[in-house]
Structures are given as C-alpha cells and as structure tokens.
Amino acid sequence: MNTQRPEPLARTRIPVFPLLIAFMSGIVFNGILLKSAGNNDQVAAPSDLVTKLESISRDLSKKTEHIIEGIEEAHNHIATASSGVVDKIDAVCGQKDNSSPKIDPFQGYGIKLSDLPTWVTRTPNDFAIEMRKGSGGLTDKVDRGHLFQFLYQPNFARMVMAKLLSKSPKIRLLEFGLGCAPGGGMIRGTPGGSALGWKHLFDQVPGLEFELHIFEYDKDCAQKWEKANPNIAKMVHIGDASSEEDLKRAYDDAGGTMFDVIIDDASHINWHQIKTLDEMLPRLATNGFYVVEDIVSSCTDWRANMGTHRGDKVGGGPDCMTTDQGEDTILAHLMEYQRTLVGKRHKYSGRGFDLHGVTKIEMHFASALLSKEVESV
C-alpha cells in the first residue's frame, strides 16, 4: 500500500518587523493626528514615536514567533501520528494480502466454489455459450430474438448455490414444449434442443441431482425423441397444456412432488398460457420460479406451436392486453397477478387471484418470471 506520509513543516522566518512598523506607524500617526485635531496638546517628537514603535514591534515579533513555533509543533505531532496510522494500515493490508485465507461458502460441503461451472459463477454470456454447446445449436432461447440468458442465468445461479448449501441438493425442472413444430421451436428439423441444453448445464454442477420432465402435445414427436435420446429426461409426458386433467395426470405421474422450476414454452396461445400458469403455479415449490416464455403472443398473432402451423392462432392484439376474441392476454393476466402482489392482497377481489406464495414478478425480454418466497437454508 503506497501512502505518502506528510512531511514536517519547515521552519520559516516571517519578516514581521517591517510589516509591523508600517502597520503600527499608520495607526499611531492617525491617532496622533486625530488627537491633535481635537485639542492643542503637544505632539511627541517623531524620534520618540519610532522608538516606541520599534519596541512594540519587537514584542509582537516574539509573540508571533511563539505562535509559529506552536503551529509547527502541532503539525509535527499530527505528522507523526499519521505516520503511525499509515504503518498500521500497511501492516493490516499486507497481512490480508499475504496470509489471510479466502472464504469459500462451500467449505465443509464437499465441493469448492472453484469447482462450479462458469455459467453459475460468471455472466449470462457464459450461460448462453454453454446452452448453445449443450443443445448442439438446437435451441433459440439464447439467440438475438430471445435473449433469455439474462432471465435464466442469475436465477438459476442463485438456485444452484442455495441447493448446494441445503440438505437436499436437487433441482426438478418441468418444461412445456419439446419444440416439435417446424419453424415454431424445432431447429433444423430437430426437436428437443432445450432439453439437451438443460441436461448439459446441470450435469456440470458437482454434487447436484437434476431431474428433467418434458410435457409435449405431439405424441409421435415426443415418443420418437425420447427413444432417440434416452437418459435425458426423467419422463416425457404427453398431453394438452390447457387441460386440467392432463396437467394433473402429468403431475401425479411425476411423483406428486412440487417442481423447483416450471417453464412454459409450449403453444403460446394466450388462453393456454393462462390456463397452464393458473393450474401449475400451486405445484411450484417454495424457492422456485415459473417462467412464461414468448409473452409477445399478447401483442402479435401467429399460428400456434402445436406440431403443425395449421393450428389456432395465438390471439395477440395491438394493445397487448386483449385477444382477438376480446379476452385477457397473458400479459393482462400477469398484470393482474402484479396488482395482487403490489396491493399486498392474498386474493384480488372480484378476480379470485391467489398468489400461491409468489413474492416477485419480473418482466424480461418477451418473457416473464414469477418466483416464490426464498427461505433460509
């Protein structure tokens, strides 16, 4: 630590005598003139005045010297004290730099912070790189049209850290939509890119158990992919994401245990997105988060991702709040959840909204995230 120490003040002789002579002469002569103007008393001879002024100046000079000496002494004391403080700071900083061990939050948990993959410990860009690598370029989640790495990386990083410090280091993820629609999730004629990406990302984390579930509408596509890609997903569930019965069956088949992460990347039809959210939010675990991708479906209209582009349109409208059928869009629905959250009401009167433990709602680029209360580990 390079800290410049203050130098003692150099002794300087101030030429007070000539200054005081000039100053006091003016005062005295003015006093004499005033006195002589008021009466006719005899005025002292100039030689006597000079003698008196010289005497006064010498006295003032001595006093001034004493004052300057006091200032110098005080400055030197301050400089000495400052030097001691700087030495102590140097000693402490030197000790910290050279000998203090770095604190690892995972000490005693069988892993080191340095063992974690860069997508956990660094930036969304690192997440995007690994997602592309793991998916073989078969996902659009981190391309320029979606940029979901800025949503996923910080939230997954926090979850991974918390899970590794918990008694049950396991993440259960359910994703709706395998990407079976050509031009609507399927990349280069191949579905399942994001499933491969999730498996790649979480298999890099030492000491963490990862369980992936996929929910897909297109039965033939789903079964074909599962056969070609064994050991990627724990289960591939077949069904309609807008069907309460199919959603309940999938949840029960998955063990009836809440999911840590739920991602809706399915048809993007507004009322499907709303139905899936309302049905599955109660099945999201505490400390978990729910993502609705591509909520741009509120603002535009295209053929739904349901294994064919001949399906229904997603139904978005120019105001982003009302579908072409006059119903709420997914964005309007999410804003009602926000109204409930902001109003600190468990249920929003008149709409029956239940937050189911949600404590935060984030809007991202064409996507939304709802997360539940974070408990201490």
Instruction: Pinpoint the alpha helices (H) of 2-98.
Output: 16-38, 46-98
Provide CB contacts within 8 A for 16, sequence distance 6+.
57, 60, 61, 64
Q: Which amino acid is at 24?
A: M
Tokens standing for residue 323: 């579908």
Q: Which of 260, 234, 233, 287 is nearest to 170 (CA)?
A: 260
pLDDT per residue over 50-108, tens digit each? Answer: 677 777 777 776 776 667 666 666 656 665 555 555 455 455 555 444 555 566 777 66
Q: Is 212 helix (H, G, I), strand (E, B) or coil?
A: strand
CA distances from 223 to 244, 270, 302 (A): 22, 26, 26
User: Which of 283, 307, 277 minimizes the C-alpha distance to 369?
Assistant: 277
Q: Which two tokens stand for residue 24?
A: 């006091």
Over residues 163-204, the pLDDT tens digits come to 999 988 999 999 999 999 876 667 788 999 999 999 999 999
d(CA 268, CA 217): 12
pLDDT band of 233, cuts 50, 70, 90 = very high
Q: What local confidence, expressed as pLDDT, does residue 54 receive? A: 74
